[in-house]
Chains A and B, each alone.
Chain A
């Protein structure tokens, strides 16, 4: 099957953790269609899950009556996903690289998600926009698997 030159798609999700399975399905299908292999698809899907988990837990502080948007914009070799919320923004630059030993001592896993996102994607950028916050995650398709 020929992979699409371009993918532009977006979807709104309810701000509850049971949306995460739907988010993963949405991203998984599009990353696979764009030409990524199984491992890359899993990694991208995990990074977006982490971004959305942060939105649900931190930006919306667990309030289930809100929504967030996941937008896929892919063209050329660039697969870009933008997660947008209208909650409380936070500055991920202030989240330190986690020290696992220290986190175990404090019984806290916070910060692991941001660390994973950065490890799994080529670019992770945060931006406040009017009343919303966006996290833009980009992964490039290497050794293009065009058929």
Chain B
């Protein structure tokens, strides 16, 4: 069984969403729940740390697409960070780097929020 886990924690004026394991059509609803919860609490500055994410399919990518508009309309952003190469390749194939900010490290992504 491929596990998936989401952890969230505050960092300055942003929230870090840390992903672990395998994000597919089975586990994507759990991440949706996390985003719905964050947005309902008015958290719009979000850094997603992919360091421990081993796998993503289009169902997982769909989650980031579903919330980005609402987040940006509220002067926030979803910044993506620390992707393993094989996970980045999937984002890249679908053209995400043109629409999302993707950083090498979590700190780099956080600094972008903190410098605003």
Chain A interface (Cβ < 8 Å from any Cβ of B): 16-18, 20-21, 24, 39, 42, 46, 49-50, 53, 56-57, 98, 100-101, 103-105, 107-109, 112-113, 115-116, 119-120
Contacts and interface: CB of A to CB of B under 8 A. Distances in A.
Contact of A100 (B22, B24, B69, B99): B99
B29 to A, nearest CB: 9
10 contacts: A20-B24, A49-B24, A98-B94, A101-B99, A104-B68, A104-B99, A108-B65, A109-B66, A112-B94, A116-B58
Chain B contact residues: helix, strand, loop or mixed: helix
A53 to B, nearest CB: 4
Contacts of B39: none
A100 B94 contact: yes
Chain A contact residues: helix, strand, loop or mixed: helix
Given A46-B90, A112-B94, 20 more contacts: A17-B24, A17-B26, A18-B1, A18-B26, A20-B24, A20-B26, A49-B57, A50-B57, A53-B24, A53-B25, A56-B25, A57-B25, A98-B94, A100-B65, A103-B65, A104-B65, A104-B68, A104-B69, A107-B65, A109-B58
Query: Could you say which interface size class chain B belongs to?
Result: 20 to 34
Contacts of A108: 62, 65
A109 B26 contact: no
A24 B1 CA distance: 10
Contacts of B22: 21
Nearest to B57: A49
A100 B96 contact: yes
